[in-house]
């Protein structure tokens, strides 16, 4: 049950053996592993000066299968076909290798870095065509596998204990192998994905196996039947694995440089501490935790998943700036060094920066730091940036990597803003959150122009929501536009102002300055507020000026719209139902036309909306203004001339 080698023909054991150019640092083992009736040995060798990987360590594992046999029902199968090595999370294992015709991978995850070396597989008719390895490490055969890391200390793990049934008593500080349930820092030798599904966890005796015809595959090795009834469920033994890096990154913070204000251009983002990661926040979550210095901080062990790793939002045109960097060296040395940070982003580069270790510690405290060599392009971006950290102790002649970090960086067109709903009844956004900036920078990826961004948002809102006469609370029991974006659809047929509000909250978080307004029917040039009069026929009653939609039956009070602002001035207007814009401020002289561009835009929007309704006219009232009695709901006076049509 332990080493489920489910298919086995030929084992190639020579590939991946260390080159003689490598410099051997240490040898560990051979470690003897046993499952009670069979044995294998593992010898671990640590090298430096690896050809093709300067500055890295190579970890070579020599596995010699002495007598471990298979429990697979297929009698042609024998040996070890799959090896998993679970390293502490954050171990930057790279360049994995193994025997030819085996696959070697190194994969980081939240819990482990997994090095897996396994035989290629084919469907095996003996196990219901489940994938089974083609090659195995049969008894008497030896193989090498391994990988590289930054220079790291070596750590030795002792064997795990097992219970009376041979089950491993897990897990976190010992080494063992069983049927393949990976757990830190478990070494799993076996093949969980290829174990015979539905089979008992007890090793069946060889005599139970049914021999049957099977497709011919070559090359072919027939295993010797063995009595494996005395084997336990697990194999255990010691092993050596990479430990903490010799140089460790403890923490740093993202800042920005713009003009003389280092804080300008970098926006602290909120997220919700109730969720493990910010990406689990709903858009409607305001967040309760602000990203503060340091944005990145290693965990207490100095390796693995960082304790902090918060996203950051920059405004295009600013320079990222890494500061408050803290490094440590396990040897406690006091050296002058150069620090190098490289990225996988072509337009983000940092210069080498001098740093001084003192008793194993070095820091670059604000205002010192590492300033990006170029400004970020003024284009909306949503980047996954990987940084590789190296130091040189010989003035840049040789470099040694010590850390790799990954970061989410957003770039907005301007400083992101939260949404102030004023007294409209919409819910204001109190925070700029990571989830929201992530959403809008993905939506507007690559946009360099505010007008084009508004139009893109018009398109997305049109695709997500229907048009009608409902308000947000009718559909979502909330007046928060972000709630609607969390659950688009829902038969939401929303009115013009509600659709515009959904657009506004997104654009603001992308750093595009917009205002939310309503344009009203008007008797003069001022369309910025609802017009009322005392009803001429009904004493003590009031009328409100409204306008008829194209059906000549439905009346609206206003047309909602967005203004795109530059500086402190509204420069153009956009509507979401119907989709219009950019509209320019009304400039022809009209009595009462406001002096503000926002007011002039309101008049323009009302004019265009009335024109739109008239162009799709279904009767004589279409697009006409009318005084409506507030008490009776009936027409009071009309049509009322809109002065834009008299120009």
Partner 1 sequence: MKHKLFCTLIFALGLVGPGASAQALELVEFRFLPGLARTPPNSPDGPAGIFRAAESSVSSGVFDPAAETLLADAEKFTKNIFNIPSLQFRRAVTHRVPTGAQWGDVLIAEWEFQEAFGNGSIVLTDTPYYSTYNLRVRDCHIRSQAELTAFLRTALVWNKPPLNFRSDAPQVAPGQKVGGVTPGAVLTIHLPASALPIASFSGGPRTPRSASSYSADFLFDGLLEANEWYFQFRVGKSFTHGFYPVPPWIPERFPPLVELAKSWGYARIRGEVGQTVKPFEGGPDFTADRDRILIAELARRGLSDDQVLALLTDVQPTPRGYELRLDAVIGGMKDAGGASFVSRFFVPALKTYEQIGPVAEKSADTLFRSAAVPSCLSGLDSAALETLKQGMFVKGPLAYLARCSTSREALRALEDMPSPDAGNERLRAWAISSIQRRIDGPAKGNRMAQ
| Window 417 to 436, contacts with partner 1 (CB under 8 A) | 417-426, 428, 430
Q: Which is nearer to partner 1, 628 or 643 (CB)?
A: 628
Piece in contact with partner 1 (CB under 8 A), picked from 8-16, 378-386, 586-594, 638-646: 378-386
Buried b (16+ CB within 10 A) or exposed e, 10-27: bbbbeebebeeebeeeee
Question: Which residues ranging from 457 to 486 are in contact with partner 1 (CB under 8 A)?
Answer: 458-460, 462-464, 466, 469-471, 473-474, 477, 479
Which of the 8 DSSP states describes residue 506?
A: H
- We find the least distance from the C-beta atom of residue 270 to partner 1, in angstroms, to be 12
Q: Which two tokens stand for residue 542?
A: 């009031």
The neighbour count for residue 79, using CB atoms within 10 Å, is 28
Piece in contact with partner 1 (CB under 8 A), picked from 34-42, 179-187, 397-405, 630-638: 630-638
Q: Which is nearer to partner 1, 44 or 496 (CB)?
A: 496
The neighbour count for residue 37, using CB atoms within 10 Å, is 17
Q: In the set 131, 204, 415, 639, which binds partner 1 (CB under 8 A)?
A: 415
Q: How far apart are the first and last CA of the chain?
A: 90
Q: Which is nearer to partner 1, 16 or 560 (CB)?
A: 560
* Contact status, residue 3 vs residue 189, Cβ threshold 8 Å: yes
Tell me which residue of 63, 55, 74 sits closest to 9, measured CA to CA. 74
Q: Which is nearer to partner 1, 198 or 463 (CB)?
A: 463
Q: Which is nearer to partner 1, 285 or 495 (CB)?
A: 495
Does residue number 634 form part of the binding site for partner 1 (CB under 8 A)?
yes
- We find the least distance from the C-beta atom of residue 647 to partner 1, in angstroms, to be 23
- We find the least distance from the C-beta atom of residue 512 to partner 1, in angstroms, to be 9
Question: Which residues ranging from 298 to 327 are in contact with partner 1 (CB under 8 A)?
Answer: none
Q: Which stretches within 444-510 are classed as H helix? A: 450-464, 472-476, 481-486, 496-509
Question: Which residues ranging from 529 to 568 are in contact with partner 1 (CB under 8 A)?
Answer: 529-530, 532-534, 536, 538-542, 546, 548, 551, 553-560, 563, 565, 567-568
Per-residue mark of binding to partner 1, 64-103 (x: CB under 8 A): ----------------------------------------
Tell me which residue of 189, 166, 195 sits closest to 177, measured CA to CA. 189
Q: Which residues contact 414 (CB under 8 A, 6 or more apart)?
A: 315, 511, 512, 513
Q: In the set 26, 406, 490, 524, which binds partner 1 (CB under 8 A)?
A: 490
H or E, element range at 570: strand 569-576
Buried b (16+ CB within 10 A) or exposed e, 388-409: bbbbbbeeeeebbbbbbbebbb
Piece in contact with partner 1 (CB under 8 A), picked from 15-23, 41-49, 157-165, 371-379: 371-379
* Contact status, residue 110 vs residue 279, Cβ threshold 8 Å: no
Does residue number 384 form part of the binding site for partner 1 (CB under 8 A)?
yes
- We find the least distance from the C-beta atom of residue 445 to partner 1, in angstroms, to be 6
Does residue number 46 form part of the binding site for partner 1 (CB under 8 A)?
no
- We find the least distance from the C-beta atom of residue 107 to partner 1, in angstroms, to be 16
- We find the least distance from the C-beta atom of residue 212 to partner 1, in angstroms, to be 40
Question: Which residues ranging from 497 to 526 are in contact with partner 1 (CB under 8 A)?
Answer: 497, 501, 504-505, 508, 513-518
Distance (Å, rounded) from C-alpha 57 to C-alpha 315? 39
Question: Which residues ranging from 595 to 624 are in contact with partner 1 (CB under 8 A)?
Answer: 598
Q: In the set 43, 345, 388, 523, which binds partner 1 (CB under 8 A)?
A: 345
- We find the least distance from the C-beta atom of residue 366 to partner 1, in angstroms, to be 18
Question: Which residues ranging from 145 to 174 are in contact with partner 1 (CB under 8 A)?
Answer: none
Instruction: Annotate 574-636 with DSSP letters as a single string.
Output: EEETTEEEEEPPP-S--TT--SSHHHHHHHHHHHHHHHHHHHT-SSTTTT-EEEEETTT-SEE
- We find the least distance from the C-beta atom of residue 216 to partner 1, in angstroms, to be 40
Q: Which is nearer to partner 1, 244 or 311 (CB)?
A: 311
Q: Which is nearer to partner 1, 48 or 267 (CB)?
A: 267
Buried b (16+ CB within 10 A) or exposed e, 428-446: ebebbbbbbbbbbbebbee
Tell me which residue of 531, 589, 582 sits closest to 558, measured CA to CA. 531
Tell me which residue of 546, 542, 584 sits closest to 564, measured CA to CA. 584
Give the count of residues interacting with partner 1 (CB under 8 A). Answer: 102
Piece in contact with partner 1 (CB under 8 A), picked from 56-64, 325-333, 345-353, 388-396: 345-353
Q: In the set 241, 387, 411, 571, which binds partner 1 (CB under 8 A)?
A: 411
Q: Which is nearer to partner 1, 115 or 519 (CB)?
A: 519
Distance (Å, rounded) from C-alpha 531 to C-alpha 592? 13
Q: Which is nearer to partner 1, 181 or 344 (CB)?
A: 344
* Contact status, residue 183 vs residue 170, Cβ threshold 8 Å: yes
The neighbour count for residue 211, using CB atoms within 10 Å, is 10
Q: Which two tokens stand for residue 411?
A: 């770039």
- We find the least distance from the C-beta atom of residue 466 to partner 1, in angstroms, to be 6
Piece in contact with partner 1 (CB under 8 A), picked from 151-159, 275-283, 296-304, 340-348: 340-348
Q: Which is nearer to partner 1, 40 or 516 (CB)?
A: 516
Distance (Å, rounded) from C-alpha 353 to C-alpha 327? 13
Q: Which is nearer to partner 1, 51 or 425 (CB)?
A: 425
Q: Which two tokens stand for residue 230?
A: 């005395």
């Amino acid at each position: 049950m332990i080493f489920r080698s489910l298919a086995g023909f030929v084992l190639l054991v020579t590939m991946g053996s260390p080159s003689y150019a490598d410099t051997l640092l240490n040898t560990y083992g051979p470690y003897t592993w046993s499952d009670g009736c069979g044995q294998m040995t593992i010898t671990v060798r640590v090298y430096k000066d690896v050809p093709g990987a300067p500055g890295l360590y190579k970890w070579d594992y020599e596995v010699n299968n002495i007598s471990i046999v298979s429990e697979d029902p297929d009698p042609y199968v024998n040996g070890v076909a799959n090896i998993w090595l679970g390293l502490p999370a954050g171990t930057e294992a790279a360049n994995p290798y193994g025997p030819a015709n085996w696959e070697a991978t190194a994969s980081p995850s939240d819990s482990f870095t997994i090095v897996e070396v396994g035989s290629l597989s084919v469907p095996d008719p003996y196990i219901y065509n489940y994938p089974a390895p083609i090659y195995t490490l049969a008894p008497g055969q030896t193989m090498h596998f391994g990988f590289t890391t930054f220079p790291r200390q070596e750590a030795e793990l002792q064997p795990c204990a097992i219970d009376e049934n041979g089950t491993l008593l897990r897990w976190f500080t010992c080494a063992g192998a069983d049927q393949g349930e990976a757990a830190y820092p478990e070494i799993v030798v076996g093949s969980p994905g290829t174990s015979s599904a539905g089979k008992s966890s007890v090793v069946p005796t060889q005599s139970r196996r049914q021999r049957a015809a099977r497709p011919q595959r070559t090359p072919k090795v027939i295993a010797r039947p063995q009595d494996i009834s005395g084997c336990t469920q697990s194999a255990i033994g010691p092993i050596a694995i990479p430990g903490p890096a010799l140089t460790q990154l403890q923490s740093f913070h993202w800042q920005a440089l713009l003009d003389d204000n280092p804080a300008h251009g970098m926006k602290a983002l909120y997220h919700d501490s109730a969720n493990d990661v910010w990406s689990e926040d709903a858009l409607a979550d305001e967040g309760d935790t602000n990203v503060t210095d340091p944005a990145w901080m290693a965990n207490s062990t100095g390796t693995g998943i960082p304790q902090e790793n918060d996203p950051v939002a920059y405004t295009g045109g600013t320079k990222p700036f890494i500061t408050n960097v803290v490094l440590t060296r396990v040897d406690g040395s006091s050296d002058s060094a150069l620090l190098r940070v490289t990225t996988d982003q072509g337009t983000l580069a940092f210069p080498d920066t001098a740093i001084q270790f003192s008793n194993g510690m070095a820091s670059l405290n604000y205002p010192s730091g590492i300033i990006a060599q170029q400004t970020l392009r003024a284009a909306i971006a949503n980047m996954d940036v990987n940084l590789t950290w190296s130091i040189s102790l010989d003035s840049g002649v040789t470099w040694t990597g010590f850390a790799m970090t990954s970061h989410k960086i957003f770039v907005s067109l301007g400083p992101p803003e939260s949404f102030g709903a004023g007294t409209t009844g919409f819910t204001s956004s109190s925070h700029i959150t990571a989830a929201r900036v992530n959403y809008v920078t993905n939506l507007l990826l690559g946009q360099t122009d505010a007008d084009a961004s508004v139009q893109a948002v018009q398109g997305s809102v049109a695709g997500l929501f229907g048009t009608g006469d409902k308000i947000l609370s009718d559909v979502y029991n909330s007046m928060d536009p972000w709630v609607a974006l969390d659950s688009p659809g829902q038969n939401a047929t929303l009115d013009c102002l509600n659709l515009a509000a959904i657009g506004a909250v997104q654009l603001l978080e992308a750093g595009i300055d917009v205002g939310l307004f309503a344009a009203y029917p008007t008797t003069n040039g001022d369309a910025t507020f609802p017009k009322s009069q005392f009803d001429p026929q009904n004493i003590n009653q009031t009328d409100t000026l409204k306008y008829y939609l194209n059906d000549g039956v439905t009346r609206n009070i206003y047309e909602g719209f967005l203004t795109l602002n530059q500086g402190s001035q509204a420069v153009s207007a956009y509507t979401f139902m119907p989709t219009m814009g950019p509209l320019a401020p009304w400039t022809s002289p009209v009595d009462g036309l406001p002096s503000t561009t926002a007011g002039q835009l309101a008049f323009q929007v009302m004019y265009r909306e009335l024109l739109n309704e008239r162009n799709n006219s279904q009767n004589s009232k279409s697009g006409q203004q009318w005084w409506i009695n507030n008490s009776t709901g009936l027409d009071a006076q009309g049509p009322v001339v809109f002065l834009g049509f008299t120009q």
